[in-house]
């Protein structure tokens, strides 16, 4: 099982480039990072951790409801070079970190542990190493801190263990930030890997080494520290992906992943809407609100369907479906059985549609929502609102659940189409992507006018299908294009999408590009 494989460690750069494909293009970037590291820190790096971004082909906003998703890692990635600290000017304390970024706009950062922490501070890595994260502001070092925190918490929380090594880091990234390609997950995975390596936590022989699944678990928790209550899609895609296939990831009853072969001649073109979606600022109106809406929808649905749910249980929509068919956790539903239940759920979900609501209003107020769950106000706040900040006057339980069930079904249909590869495979995949976009826009409310325009331009320019990818509300679209049409497609979209008209050639290359499935995260060790 892919999720159980050990984290790959390379000691030969040629082997590593081979594993990434297209060797030449990588070598320049890696060499530049190594040279810069030597210039800045006066010695060679000891490790380089690599973690790629990802594009989600289909299955949007359903990972936190624990339904399967279908992303693939992209070639763009984050690299973090590191070595035990050589700082000469001041005596370095255990676990002292200097973090620099090759991009000039991200200034250097230092994390120093308190020299004499109080007794209770000594128990908490955040306080000892001063790793507080400002959730209200998007800062690059937050992701480095998040990765570091996870490693400290896992291995160094007790004051009796040998303290962590002081470290110098240099980061470089080619995943555009805030664009739906998950630069955040790539940062967190790379940072977690860098701190694991430098502290000798990946030194075991392969058979005993930390598994990819364990790294995904750590990275998920670490990223949630930055303030978004995300599912595990991005971290799993960044860690477990294999080259030349997409990755079908399921989360229930536990993390599992299988490659999905893509049809020959299929190219996925990413196009950035150039609308930046900054979750640090907006999550309470969009992402985190959707998490709460889908969880509340799950509880109400379970109640209406007569299922047993404990008052403190945060049941997800995936679990509601399992409970409905009395699924055995040891023997979870097959994809085929899941398809049948999801077809049924498309009808069951109608019970969430508000009855006597005013024309066109499918949302409910907070009070109405609480009443529908059958919980008291206190119970509801405790289970659903105490851990997250959300702001809304209406909660859209019906539309959100409708999207989740239909999208989960499309993921299974997409994978099945790839596996069967029928004569009209491109048309079938494209149609599913288009339906996904419609559902995201109309039911989930996670598109935006620019993404609607861009995906419709893409269809007109010859894409089989086009949709937003990632959280939405801005960021990128992904379009399925036949290999021989890629060039004309990019030309046409470039000519038609208004915001591209003012971009330089260089900027355009970053805004719209074809991508291939890439391999997941790894570590290079200098010997």
Nearer to ligand NG1, 228 or 480 (CB): 228
Q: How many residues are recorded in the chain?
A: 527
DSSP type of residue 325? T
> Helix, strand or coil for residue 78?
strand
> In sequence order, what DSSP letters do the residues of 453-480 get, joined into one string?
HHHHHHHHTT-SEEEE-SS-SSSEEEEE
By CB under 6 A, residue 125 contacts ligand NG1? no
Site pattern 213..232 for ligand NG1 (x: CB under 6 A):
----------x----x-xx-
**Distance from C-alpha of 357 to C-alpha of 147, rounded to nearest angstrom:** 46
- Within 10 Å of residue 484's Cβ, how many Cβ atoms? 10
Query: Is 278 labeled as catalytic in the residue annotation?
Result: no
Quick one: which of 2, 57, 98, 185 contacts ligand NG1 (CB under 6 A)? 185
Identified binder of Mg ion from the candidate list 184, 199, 250, 288, rule CB under 5 A: 184
Residue 69 vs 167, nearer CB to ligand NG1? 69
Interaction partner, residue 233 (Mg ion, ligand NG1, none; CB < 5-8 Å by kind): ligand NG1
Interactions with ligand NG1, residue window 141-160 (CB under 6 A): none
Q: Which is nearer to ligand NG1, 8 or 68 (CB)?
A: 68
Q: Is 410 left (phi over 0), alpha (psi -120 to 50) or beta?
A: alpha
Residue of 48, 60, 78, 97 that binds ligand NG1 (CB under 6 A): 60
Cβ-based nearer residue to Mg ion, 174 or 211:
174
The distance of closest approach from Cβ of residue 184 to ligand NG1 in the complex, given in angstroms and rounded to an integer, is 5
Cβ 189 to ligand NG1, closest distance in Å?
11
Residue among 101, 182, 192, 250 that touches ligand NG1 (CB under 6 A): 182
* Selected catalytic residue, list 234, 278, 335, 382: 234
What are the distances in angstroms from CA 273 to CA 270, 347, 417? 10, 34, 28
By CB under 6 A, residue 71 contacts ligand NG1: no
Residue span binding ligand NG1 (CB under 6 A) among the ranges 58-66, 149-157, 457-465, 514-522:
58-66
Under rule CB under 6 A, residue 522 binds ligand NG1: no
Q: How far apart are CA 444 and CA 290, in angstroms?
A: 8
Q: Are 481 and 489 in contact (CB under 8 A)?
A: yes
Residue 102 CA to residue 100 CA, distance in Å, equals 7
Alpha-carbon distance of 3 to 20, in angstroms, equals: 19
Least distance (Å) from ligand NG1 to the CB of residue 183? Answer: 8
Nearest distance, CB of residue 182 and Mg ion, angstroms: 5
> Do 250 and 178 touch, CB atoms closer than 8 A?
no
Residue 184 or 260 with smaller CB distance to Mg ion: 184
Site string for ligand NG1, 459-488 (x = CB under 6 A): -----------xx-----------------
Tokens matching residue 312: 């403190």
Least distance (Å) from ligand NG1 to the CB of residue 63? Answer: 5
User: Taking CB under 6 A as the rule, does residue 184 contact ligand NG1?
Assistant: yes
Beta carbons within 10 angstroms of residue 195's beta carbon: 30
- Residue nearest ligand NG1 (C-beta atom): 470
Q: Which of 75, 141, 168, 234 binds ligand NG1 (CB under 6 A)?
A: 234
Shortest separation between residue 87's beta carbon and ligand NG1, angstroms: 33
The item of ligand NG1, Mg ion, none sharing an interface with residue 450, based on CB under 5 to 8 Å by kind, is: none
Residue 233 as a binder of ligand NG1 (CB under 6 A): the answer is: yes
Sign of CA dihedral 78, 248, 62, 421: positive
Cβ(293)–Cβ(396) below 8 Å:
yes
The CA dihedral of 507, 513, 519, 521, to the nearest 10 degrees, is 30
Question: How many angstroms separate the CA atoms of 439 and 2, rounded?
Answer: 31
Q: Report the relative pairing of strands 266-272 and 109-111 from DSSP bridges.
A: unpaired
Q: What is the Rg, in whole angstroms, of the alpha carbon atoms belonging to the chain?
A: 23
> Which residue of 61, 212, 399, 402 would you call a contact of ligand NG1, by CB under 6 A?
61
Size of the site for Mg ion (CB under 5 A): 2
Cβ contacts of 519 within 8 Å, gap of 6 or more: 19, 20, 21, 52, 73, 241, 242, 243
Would you call 80 helix, strand, or coil by DSSP? strand
| Site for ligand NG1, rule CB under 6 A | 56, 60-61, 63-64, 180, 182, 184-185, 223, 228, 230-231, 233-234, 470-471
- Provide the binding-site residues for Mg ion, judged by CB under 5 A: 182, 184
- Residues identified as active-site: 234
């Amino acid at each position: 099982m892919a999720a159980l494989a050990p984290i790959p460690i390379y000691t030969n750069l040629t082997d590593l480039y081979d594993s990434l494909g297209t060797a030449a293009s990588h070598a320049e970037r890696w060499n530049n990072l190594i040279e810069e590291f030597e210039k800045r820190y006066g010695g060679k790096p000891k490790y380089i951790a690599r973690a790629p971004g990802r594009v989600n082909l289909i299955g949007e906003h359903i990972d936190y409801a624990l339904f399967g998703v279908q992303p693939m890692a992209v070639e763009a990635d984050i690299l973090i070079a590191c070595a035990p600290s050589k700082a000469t000017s001041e005596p370095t304390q255990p676990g002292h970190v200097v973090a620099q970024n090759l991009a000039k706009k991200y200034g250097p950062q230092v994390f120093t542990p308190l020299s004499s922490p109080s007794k209770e501070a000594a128990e908490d890595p955040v306080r000892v190493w001063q790793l507080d994260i400002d959730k209200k502001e998007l800062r690059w070092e937050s992701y480095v801190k998040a990765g570091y925190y996870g490693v400290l918490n896992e291995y160094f929380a007790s004051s009796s263990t040998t303290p962590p090594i002081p470290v110098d880091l240099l980061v470089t990234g080619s995943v555009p930030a805030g664009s739906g390609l998950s630069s955040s997950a790539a940062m967190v995975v790379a940072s977690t890997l860098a701190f694991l390596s430098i502290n000798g936590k990946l030194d075991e022989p392969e058979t005993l080494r930390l598994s990819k699944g364990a790294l995904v678990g750590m990275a998920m928790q670490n990223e949630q520290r930055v303030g978004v209550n995300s599912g595990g899609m991005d971290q799993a895609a960044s860690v477990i992906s294999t080259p030349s296939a997409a990755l079908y990831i399921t989360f229930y009853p536990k993390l599992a992943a299988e490659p999905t072969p893509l049809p020959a001649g299929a190219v996925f073109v990413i196009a950035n809407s150039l609308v930046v979606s900054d979750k640090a600022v907006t999550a309470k109106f969009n992402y985190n609100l959707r998490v709460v809406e889908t969880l509340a929808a799950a509880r109400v649905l379970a109640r209406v369907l007569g299922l047993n749910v404990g008052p403190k249980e945060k049941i997800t929509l995936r679990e509601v479906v399992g409970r409905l068919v009395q699924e055995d956790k040891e023997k979870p539903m097959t994809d085929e059985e899941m398809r049948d239940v999801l077809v049924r759920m498309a009808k069951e979900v109608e019970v969430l549609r508000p009855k006597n609501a005013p024309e066109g209003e499918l949302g409910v107020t907070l009070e109405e929502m609480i009443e529908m769950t059958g919980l008291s106000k206190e119970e509801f706040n405790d289970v659903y609102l105490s851990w997250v900040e959300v702001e809304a006057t209406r909660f859209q339980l019906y539309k959100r659940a409708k999207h989740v069930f239909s999208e989960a079904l499309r993921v299974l249909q997409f994978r099945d189409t790839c596996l069967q590869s029928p004569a009209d495979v491109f048309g079938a995949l494209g149609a599913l992507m288009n339906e996904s976009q419609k559902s995201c826009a109309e039911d989930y409310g996670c598109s935006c006018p620019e993404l609607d325009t861009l995906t419709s331009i893409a269809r007109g320019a010859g894409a089989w299908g086009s949709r937003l990818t990632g959280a939405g509300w801005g960021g990128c679209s992904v379009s399925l294009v036949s290999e021989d049409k890629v060039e004309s497609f990019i030309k046409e979209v470039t000519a038609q999408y208004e915001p591209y008209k003012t971009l330089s050639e260089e900027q355009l290359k970053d805004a719209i590009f074809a991508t291939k499935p890439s391999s997941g995260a790894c570590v290079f060790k200098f010997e």
